[in-house]
Structure 1
Amino acid sequence: MSRQLHLGAFLMGVGHHASAWRLPGADPAALTRPSYYKALAQTAERGKFDYVFFADRLALSDRYGNDLQASVRYLTGPRLDPVTLLGVLAGATSHIGLAATASTTFNHPFSLARTFASLDHLSEGRIGWNIVTSTNDGEALNFSAEPILEHELRYRRAREFVELALKLWDSWEDDALVHDKLDGHFADPDRVHYVNHAGEFFDVRGPLNVPRSPQGRPVLIQAGSSDTGQDFAASVADVIFTAQPDLQKAKDFYRTVNQRLAGQGRAPGSLKIMPGVMPFVGKSQDEAQARFAELEDNVHPLAGLALLSDSMNHDLSIYPLDEPLPAVHNIRGNQSRFKLVQELSQREGLTLRQLGKRFGGSRSHRVLAGTASEIADDLEQWFSEQACDGFNIMPPYLPDALTEFVDQVVPQLQRRGLFRKEYTGTTLREHLGLERPSSQFAQP
């Protein structure tokens, strides 16, 4: 097949499932050990994944009850700075892409552009940036700002932030460094440019003090599925993360995003659409379902409600636990995720307690429980029916669920000709089949 499936390993804590830390074999103390993350990245690289990815949030999940009770008691809330972590993993791997979240709301374009350009050099072209806008007041309170910016304003700032970052990454042309020892010319000043950006949120002269990196710029990833988020992704992103629990809706989303992409004058396939999937791999369907049920039984409802309150930026503790989720308007947090949760609650008639247990498990992403062959069948169907370009694999428990997927599901996909057996490129852009962009300042 000319069209190849893409796989990202979306790694979080000791697993994405909120009760993963309670499993007998889980080691929550490993979350501050470099050896733990190195081993995970090396497992994903052995499976020939396009990239490993780490999310981030700039606060503990304290929106539920506006205190730390639910978060600290029931969740593995602490997390290391993922951008720093990429530097450690760059030295522990050789091919796999390395991506991390960084907020446009509470960072500055110059310092962030410099950090990601540096990492792209140090990893020899394997870095990706997941662009997010911070969504809750807990984050704002950690940066001397409250409340959080409104949805449209956050995206306006994000657009300008990325526009400026692109200028900074391009401020050195590819051939600016000449290293002419005979004439004593280190670089060509005509190929290093001030950006002189003056906008609504930022005034930056530039240029960046890091030369253009191996990929030209890091791979840009965007995770919003709202109309605003889709437009943003279609204009600048290389990859879009999304939660799509239903095949037909995923196909509609895929078609809509590609229409928006064409509206931006971009070529088909230049934006990879990758929904999240949480796989439970077993020797039989019953074994896989039993693993899933074990984790579901151990989810404390308040763990899920703490995560959901954080995502919505809305305190759900004000509502009775054993009544349905009421109509909530003017959500200032993650709007697309709240829409999925609201639809689930109404469709299945869930109480808030039940919704907490459910959200603590999948976080609205699709759960697959079955044999390796059954899971590969499902992934192949979604891929072949144009519902996606690949998947972000969200291991429910770590490290075992990642190892099981690599050792059992990946060979199934390889035998079907859907997925690479070896890396054919060296950069993340090459893994994803993306062109290397030229500098906007490039001269003939």
Structure 2
Amino acid sequence: MSSLQPIPLGIVLYPSGHHVAAWADPRTPADAAVDPSHYIRSAQQAEAAKLDFVFVSDRLGIPDAAPEALARVDEWSHGFEALTLTAALAAATSRIGLVATASTTFTEPYFLARQIASLDLISRGRAGWNLVTSSLPAEARNFSSSLSFDHAARYERAEEFLDVLLGLWDSWEEGAFLRDRDSGLVFDPASLHRLDHDGKYFRSRGPLNVPPSPQRRPVIVQAGSSGPGIRLAARAGEIVFTAQPDLTKAKLFRAEIKARARAFGRSAEDVLVLPGIFPVIGSTQAEAQEIFEELQSRISPQVGLSLLETYLGDVDLSGTDLDGPLPPLPESNSIKSRQGLLVALATRENLTIRQLIKRVAGARGHWQVVGTAQSIADQMEEWVREGAADGFAVLPPTFPQGLSAFVNEVVPELRRRGRVREDYAGTTLREHLGLARPLSRHSPETLRHSA
């Protein structure tokens, strides 16, 4: 029996795939963006492989891309709201974790606390919340709010938003529900607590009218890699998604997250760092490269340029020589970390804009691995062994074939090495990931510790 620990693995669900040209591949379903059965099949396939979770991303509007680019990518223009879709996945699965994206920028904490807690209860403790701040002007213009969209202010607001949610999720003590018809009590009234939060951005009295799930509360997921994002991840994140294109940078990032978590009084084991991995898998290295090059050949010039402009902070490169270097760019107020990553990549490798478009189209700044199942498993193990990752968020280039290749080829290889479980040992997402079940702030243990 192997003494090695399983590597946490999650699948990021997409309509056609993570590669920007996935929809142009005739083997991907043309209407996947609005076909719930597509997502259900993918989640069930990941569950059959005994993976930890599936992840559903979201955006609050259509990006400000050129119409000819928008019309060529399914995920940019239409799809499901993440929490609604994830609830459908909960009904169609029984063990796999379900992580849904929801923004803190245009809603109230009480409203979102109810939604996410309901998902956690419906799924019997399998929910996670990917906390994001909405950064794109195209999203802001869909809402009446006059909120500031300064990067630092968005994260300051997000920190308070999270504090309110955590407080609301602690409204009910353990064992609060008696459901005792002899006494006539549904619950012990002494076990229900108001929050009475009055802060800079939010006021919320509480208590929450959704009780805790078997895992107590949803797993907190954070994906920001800017300074404020790292602070939020270190203070409260339990899973940290990150785009890290190479092992050296990934090691530095993970070490920083763990060190800053300890500075907040947490254990390094309280937070799992999961870089994204974009795997292109073939029976030989040559076949894997051929699969990748075929996808690359399908990139629409308009789509590729629009994608790069978005990741560089909604800049306009339309009048720029694509065979020249990136021009000086204004500092992004939206996705600061991704802009910095791509500018550093272009500078380090002396890439032209056209070459950078090709690099972004597949992995979009994440770790790109093209090879056999054995070589990809080798590299994943190396990243974990070298302290660059606790696990991985897998970004299949296409659906269903890219997902099938990973679960049918890479997962069995990792399982042979003792790196993927044979079966689920628990029923909640926290149990899958080895994360502790949090105590209520009103529990005797917490109150003694605070005293």
Determine if the TM-score, normalized by the shorter chain, exceeds 0.5.
Answer: yes
Deviation at 1:28, TM superposition (A): 2.2
In the other structure, the counterpart of 1:44 is 46
In the other structure, the counterpart of 1:185 is 185
Deviation at 1:318, TM superposition (A): 4.9
Distance 1:70 1:127, change over 3 A: same
In the other structure, the counterpart of 2:360 is 359
Identity of aligned residues (%): 45
Determine if the alignment matches structure 1 residue 70 to structure 2 residue 69.
yes
Distance 1:61 1:353, change over 3 A: farther
- Which digits, 9 at most, give the CA deviation of each residue in 1:148-178, with x for residues without a partner? 6111100000000000000000011121111
TM-score by length of 2: 0.94
Deviation at 1:296, TM superposition (A): 1.0
Superposition map of 1:150-229 within 5 A: 150-229=150-229
Deviation at 1:147, TM superposition (A): 8.0
Distance 1:408 1:38, change over 3 A: same
Question: What is the CA–CA distance in structure 2 between the aligned matches of 1:197 and 1:425, rounded to whole Å?
Answer: 35
Distance 1:147 1:347, change over 3 A: farther
In the other structure, the counterpart of 1:400 is 401
Equivalent AA in structure 1 for residue 253 of structure 2: F
Question: What is the CA–CA distance in structure 2 between the aligned matches of 1:170 and 1:350, rounded to whole Å?
Answer: 50
In the other structure, the counterpart of 2:35 is 33
Tell me if structure 2 keeps the 8 A contact 1:104–1:133. yes
Deviation at 1:329, TM superposition (A): 2.6
Question: What is the CA–CA distance in structure 1 between the aligned matches of 2:16 and 2:325, rounded to whole Å?
Answer: 31
Tell me if structure 2 keeps the 8 A contact 1:278–1:367. yes
Moved over 6 A (4+): none
Question: What is the CA–CA distance in structure 1 between the aligned matches of 2:74 and 2:340, rounded to whole Å?
Answer: 24
Secondary structure of the structure 1 residue equivalent to 2:31? helix
Tell me if structure 2 keeps the 8 A contact 1:119–1:127. yes
Question: What is the CA–CA distance in structure 1 between the aligned matches of 2:312 and 2:195, rounded to whole Å?
Answer: 37
- Which digits, 9 at most, give the CA deviation of each residue in 1:29-63, with x for residues without a partner? 1321221111000110111110000111111121x
Secondary structure of the structure 2 residue equivalent to 1:316? coil
Secondary structure of the structure 1 residue equivalent to 2:437? coil
- Which digits, 9 at most, give the CA deviation of each residue in 1:376-417, with x for residues without a partner? 011011111111100111000001111111111111111111
Equivalent AA in structure 1 for residue 260 of structure 2: R
Superposition map of 1:108-147 within 5 A: 108-145=108-145
Secondary structure of the structure 1 residue equivalent to 2:270? coil
Tell me if structure 2 keeps the 8 A contact 1:237–1:271. yes
Secondary structure of the structure 1 residue equivalent to 2:392? strand
Question: What is the CA–CA distance in structure 2 between the aligned matches of 1:59 and 1:156, rounded to whole Å?
Answer: 23
Tell me if structure 1 keeps the 8 A contact 2:106–2:145. no
Equivalent AA in structure 2 for residue 263 of structure 1: A
Superposition map of 1:159-308 within 5 A: 159-308=159-308
Distance 1:74 1:40, change over 3 A: closer
Question: What is the CA–CA distance in structure 2 between the aligned matches of 1:251 and 1:14, rounded to whole Å?
Answer: 31
Question: For the aligned residues, what is the CA RMSD?
Answer: 1.6
Superposition map of 1:392-431 within 5 A: 392-431=393-432
Question: What is the CA–CA distance in structure 2 between the aligned matches of 1:147 and 1:378, rounded to whole Å?
Answer: 44
In the other structure, the counterpart of 1:97 is 97
Question: What is the CA–CA distance in structure 2 between the aligned matches of 1:339 and 1:27, rounded to whole Å?
Answer: 34
Distance 1:437 1:114, change over 3 A: same
Question: What is the CA–CA distance in structure 1 between the aligned matches of 2:145 and 2:345, rounded to whole Å?
Answer: 33
Question: What is the CA–CA distance in structure 2 between the aligned matches of 1:198 and 1:405, rounded to whole Å?
Answer: 48
Equivalent AA in structure 1 for residue 19 of structure 2: H
Tell me if structure 2 keeps the 8 A contact 1:301–1:360. no
Deviation at 1:327, TM superposition (A): 1.7
Distance 1:194 1:177, change over 3 A: same
Deviation at 1:443, TM superposition (A): 4.3
Question: What is the CA–CA distance in structure 2 between the aligned matches of 1:86 and 1:285, rounded to whole Å?
Answer: 36
- Which digits, 9 at most, give the CA deviation of each residue in 1:262-282, with x for residues without a partner? 101111211000000111111
